[in-house]
Amino acid sequence: MRIRLSFERQEGSGLCIMVDLLRASATITAALDQFREVIPVADIEEAVKYSRKGYPVAGERGGETVPGFIANSPIEVKNYSGDALVLTTSNGTRILESVKSHALVGCLNNLDAVAEAARELSDEVEVVMAGVNGRFAIEDFLCAGEIIAAIDGEMDEYAEASVLAVQDRSLVDDAIRRSRSAERLEGLGFRDDIEYCIRRNITGNVPVYRDGTVKLMEEIRRLH
């Protein structure tokens, strides 16, 4: 298994795992307990168009919930259900829309499940960190490191560095809590979301982005 790590954009054209720990990856993973699919959109304007058609819409910019939208929150999204949820975020949904093939959505909540799915689907995978508005985000780097360690394969140097960084889980958790993203979310009243996103292996959900929508891998298998 060959594993590479990249930042903000997919460099290859094969299977990738999108990581946006705080909070798009966790929100998508949790939403698929309540919705059949998640439709990620990059622009608020496009999300508003869906809202006018009756779709439930979640989203944020800079961590702040867009007025009239559901929060980009893995906790809040569980209060809603339906056929499809539309989601627009500052970083994660933008990364998904740019992938060249199909992508898994990875976080700590589905750590082992997404690693197992990657091993099953391909002998080469690229983990893409979403970052924050073009900036490196330590929480995505550390989450990527845990996923890469769980996949366990031949790593490029960037991927290997991320694995070396996650040898002490308590230090990882502390670094995530002290990250710029977490500090901003806490200031906005989303401290519980931070703690939720740090929880490991609480779900077997493996979201798969393909053809503009995200569905559970088991749902895609069932349909094919």
218 in any annotated domain: no
Instruction: Read off the DSSP letter of residue 212.
Output: T
Instruction: Please state the domain count of the chain.
Output: 1
Collect all residues with Cβ–Cβ distance below 8 Å to 177 and sequence separation of at least 6.
194, 198
The overall average pLDDT reported for the chain is 96
Which CATH number characterizes residue 7's domain?
A: 3.90.1560.10
168 in any annotated domain: yes
179 in any annotated domain: yes
Q: What is the pTM of this model?
A: 0.96
- pLDDT tops 50 at residue 212: yes
43 in any annotated domain: yes
Range of the domain at 61: 1-206
223 in any annotated domain: no
Query: Is the distance from CB of 158 to CB of 5 less than 8 angstroms?
Result: yes
36 in any annotated domain: yes
Task: For the chain, report the end-to-end CA distance as a whole number of angstroms.
Answer: 25
- pLDDT tops 50 at residue 26: yes
By three-state DSSP, how is residue 65 classified? strand
Query: Per residue in 56-81, pLDDT tens?
Result: 999 999 999 999 999 999 999 999 99
Query: Is the distance from CB of 4 to CB of 153 less than 8 angstroms?
Result: no
Distance CA 6, CA 145 (A): 12
* pLDDT score of 218: 87
Query: Per residue in 76-135, pLDDT tens?
Result: 999 999 999 999 999 999 999 889 889 999 999 999 999 999 999 999 999 999 999 999
Question: What burial class does residue 54 get, using C-beta atoms within 10 Å of its C-beta: 0-12 exposed, 13-18 middle, 19+ buried?
Answer: exposed
- pLDDT tops 80 at residue 224: no
Q: Are strands 2-7 and 124-129 parallel, antiparallel or unpaired?
A: parallel
217 in any annotated domain: no
- pLDDT tops 50 at residue 7: yes
Distance CA 104, CA 39 (A): 14
212 in any annotated domain: no
Q: What's the average model confidence in pLDDT over 42-51? A: 96
* pLDDT score of 220: 67
* pLDDT score of 223: 55
